[in-house]
Amino acid sequence: MPIPTWQRASSTRWNPAVCAGCEARLTGSPETPDSTKAESPAPGPFANPEVLPDSLPRAATLDWQPLHPRYARRLQAGALIRIGVLAAVVAAAHVTVLLAGLETLSRIAIWPLRILWALCALGGTWAVVKPLIAVPRCGYAVREKDILYRSGVLWRTVRVVPFSRVQHTRTDSGLLDRRFALANLTVFPAGAGGHKIPGLGADTAENLRAYVSERIEAEKPGAADDGS
């Protein structure tokens, strides 16, 4: 004979843990550890204090390191080589016009040739003067967390590369760089092109590369825990 519904309901066993949890949810009182997990603490209030300009670190206090003095001569040599190639081409064209013996061609070509000679003279002068102005205004600074490089004469640029963003470094030197015992250091941040610091002494560039590589490892997540 089937048991009536009211008898089945009354025969259900009483579970103290379940009832304690239900009562806590209904009354708003804290639940027992046996009935439910402890609630996570509420987050603290949001804080965003103002930073005054007077409290910011001063860029003038950075100890900027100059580039190697030979770097100006290396730039002069490279620019004069390019100007010399252009002057040789202009001279060959001038000689060709003179040897052709055509009066009409000479009258047509004389002014373009004079302009090219003037450009060669101006380019040679600028090639000598510009490095003497630009190189003393360049420099780099190394801090515990980043490396900085400044350059420019009329338009000044300061690039800051945090070590935590650097993926790898590279030193390189071209033919003229090796002639003047110089090298370039390039750091490659994540998601950006390489940032080059040119005109370093060969030993300085290698020492900087080793230091930056050290800082890259130190800035990796979990490096402090591994060291401890």
Chain centre distance of CA 19: 62
Calculated CA dihedral for residues 219, 138, 169, 56, nearest 10 degrees: 10
Cα 135 to Cα 75, 82, 179, 197, 208, distances in angstroms: 9, 19, 18, 12, 19
Average pLDDT of the chain to the nearest whole number: 81
- The domain 139-221 is placed in CATH, from the list 2.30.29.30, 1.10.10.10, 2.60.120.20, 3.40.50.720, at 2.30.29.30
Q: Give the per-residue pLDDT at 6.
A: 46
Residue 60 gets the label, from left (phi > 0), alpha (psi -120 to 50) or beta, of alpha
Q: How far apart are CA 92 and CA 96, in angstroms?
A: 6
pLDDT, one tens digit per residue, over 151-191 is 998 999 999 999 989 988 999 999 999 999 999 999 998 87
**What is the secondary structure of 166-206 as a DSSP string?**
EEEEEEE--HHHHHTTEEEEEEEETTS--EEEEEEEHHHHH
Q: Give the per-residue pLDDT at 10.
A: 47
Best-predicted range by mean pLDDT (3-7, 9-13, 76-80): 76-80
Q: Give the per-residue pLDDT at 52.
A: 84
Q: Kindly indicate the confidence band of residue 94, based on its pLDDT and cuts at 50, 70 and 90.
A: confident
pLDDT, one tens digit per residue, over 65-81 is 999 999 999 999 999 99
Q: Which tokens go with 102? A: 């055509």
What is the average pLDDT across 122-128? Answer: 93
